[in-house]
Amino acid sequence: MRILVTGGAGFIGSAVVRLAIARGHQVVNLDALTYAACLDNVASVASDPGYAFEHADIRDRAALDRILAAHQPDAVMHLAAESHVDRSIDGPGAFIDTNVTGTYHLLEAARKYWAAQGRPAGFRFHHISTDEVFGSLPADPSVKFTEDTPYDPRSPYSASKAASDHLVRAWHETYGLPVVLTNCSNNYGPYHFPEKLVPVIILNALAGKALPVYGDGSNIRDWLYVEDHADALLLVLERGTIGRSYNIGGENERTNLQLVRTLCAILDEKRPKPAGSHADQITFVTDRPGHDARYAIDPARIRAELGWRPSVTVEQGLERTVQWYLDNEGWWRPLQARKGVGERLGTQG
Ligand code: NAD
């Protein structure tokens, strides 16, 4: 299959690009190379004859038309987005521009391209979204997000992603564009940009700095290893039912504090401190305004219809992730100099 991946120089997009190339697909990586991008994420496949890169912005309709016509993809996997909740609190405008308006331009470009091809039934527009569109769950472990959970986004980021989901569904219902949607839980793994919780904790611990935990650390997330996610995304692209959405979770609910303590225990094994534990550096900091209490995915649909389950537990995935950061200082060190990284963002409630 020839796949146009947007946001393929980011964290999840690059995992999709690497896996798609490994499975013999042809990939066009379209990315604007914002602060969150890093072409090193796809360096391992950059010389593959099936790989092409297009430096373009999804808000640039002319560029999208040109790229679709030039590469003639069978599918679009749309991952390009502004993705950091804390940055959306300080500057929501970029999130509306890229996540909402950019998705609109991509949908229109894809619709025109698909129509020009004779509306092939096999074409797919796969929109990658987040479980954050569903809002916040109560503590009761029997209550989880299903695909029918009403939308209730609470941050500028999740509201912009919810808007983009609605646009994608509308383009299917109104114009017949063959779409599939996925809403996944929190990802972690190699190439995670060093402003997100897991890499911040690993890198601060290695530097002997404080390990910031928002509020009391009781917020629960359902942790999904990024390479498992990429595998699920390719499966939904190939076998998902048109017009349907699929929730993708890690089946690994943990509080933020549990997650941080697990990372510290792994680091205590791999990089012991001269005395004490890395956990001694845990510091509770001001909570994020509107911080959702709990996210958890009910994976029944993707499991029953497509037979997919995550391959690792969070402990296994975190062990691999810590080892990857220990082995790849040359990747993360330069990214720490980028604007805003290492600063506390998103505290203005
Ligand atoms: P990321 O921030 O690591 O990467 C986003 C990529 O999109 C970057 O390479 C960036 O350059 C590119 N991009 C941003 N604006 C663009 C524009 N206007 N035009 C073209 N490219 C642009 O994000 P990520 O964590 O890899 O997330 C990928 C997708 O998955 C996003 O849509 C996000 O909402 C969704 N998602 C992420 C998570 C998570 O845990 N990281 C969870 C659920 C859903």
Query: How far apart (Å, rounded) are the C-alpha atoms in residues 89 and 85?
Result: 7
Closest C-alpha residue for ligand 1 atom 35: 129
pLDDT in tens, 235-287: 999 999 999 999 999 999 999 999 999 999 999 999 999 999 999 999 999 88
pLDDT grade, residue 88 (50/70/90)? very high
Catalytic center residues: 131-132, 157
Q: Is 343 exposed, middle or buried (0-12, 13-18, 19+ CB in 10 A)?
A: exposed
Tokens of 20: 């798609």
Query: How far apart (Å, rounded) are the C-alpha atoms in residues 308 and 296?
Result: 17
Tokens of 346: 């998103």
pLDDT in tens, 37-48: 999 999 999 999
- Measured from the CB, is residue 264 less than 6 Å from ligand 1? no
CATH numbers and ranges of domains, the chain: 2-192+224-252+292-312 (3.40.50.720)
pLDDT grade, residue 349 (50/70/90)? low
Average pLDDT over residues 53-62: 98
Closest C-alpha residue for ligand 1 atom 4: 10
Closest C-alpha residue for ligand 1 atom 29: 79
pLDDT of residue 80: 98
- Measured from the CB, is residue 177 less than 6 Å from ligand 1? no
- Measured from the CB, is residue 5 less than 6 Å from ligand 1? no
Average pLDDT over residues 76-97: 95
pLDDT in tens, 183-223: 999 999 999 999 999 999 999 999 999 999 999 999 999 99
